Amino acid sequence: MKTFTIGISGVTNGGKTTLAKNLQKHLPNCSVISQDDFFKPQSEIETDKNGFLQYDVLEALNMEKMMSAISCWMENPRHSVVSTDWGNAEETPILIIEGFLLFNYKPLATVWNRSYFLTIPYEECKRRRSTRVYNPPDPPGYFDGHVWPMYLKHRREMEENVTWEIVYLDGTKSEEDLFSQVYEDIIQELAKQKCLQVTA
């Protein structure tokens, strides 16, 4: 079965989850997998020399388990545990994968039909982060000492190694504007895919 897989990645508090949920509401036969659901238990998270828990690294995530969930969906989208209600059976099954470290993980490189990366400036990111409740809570200095440096490091590595097109999104735009931009882009890509299937 032909499927369509979308990656939504980017900076912490950039609007990834909100965008994914908004798209799921409006796209037919659409499922969402969130990378945040695959964090390892706190007891397995490494600590750096400053005493900060290293949550913003791939090693903090059970990526094998996440890949297994993605593979299960790909094999049978209709019966996957992450599937949404099915509408028109003729519509292409869509999977949205959202998370902060998607495009740095090589085993995922071949799955994307469309990739989006949300960015927001440092000050706005810090402000948004301060309004969120985390468990465990961010200790003093965690954003500047770990979160932002890790974001910059991983973004640099991503841009050096990625071999496919990534669409950058301005996370300071309104939810509605971001949704409209991405929704229209996805609809265009799905239409192209259908044309290719017809002519194949």
pLDDT at residue 108 in the model: 95
pLDDT at residue 87 in the model: 56
- The full set of domains in the chain, from first to last, is 4-199 (3.40.50.300)
Which positions are catalytic?
36
pLDDT at residue 44 in the model: 94
- Between CA 79 and CA 36 the distance in angstroms is 22
Residue 36 and residue 55 in contact, taking contact as beta carbons nearer than 8 Å: no
- pLDDT (tens, 9 = 90+) of the chain, 200 residues, equals 689 999 999 999 999 999 999 999 999 889 999 999 999 999 999 998 888 889 999 999 999 999 999 999 999 887 665 555 555 556 789 999 999 999 999 999 999 999 999 999 999 999 999 998 888 888 899 999 999 999 999 999 999 999 999 999 999 999 999 999 999 999 999 988 877 665 55
Question: Which pairs with CB-CB distance under 8 Å and at least 24 residues apart come from 162-169?
Answer: 162/103, 162/109, 163/109, 164/109, 164/112, 164/115, 165/115, 166/103, 166/115, 166/116, 166/117, 167/114, 167/115, 167/116, 167/117, 168/116, 168/117, 168/119, 169/10, 169/19, 169/116, 169/117, 169/118, 169/119
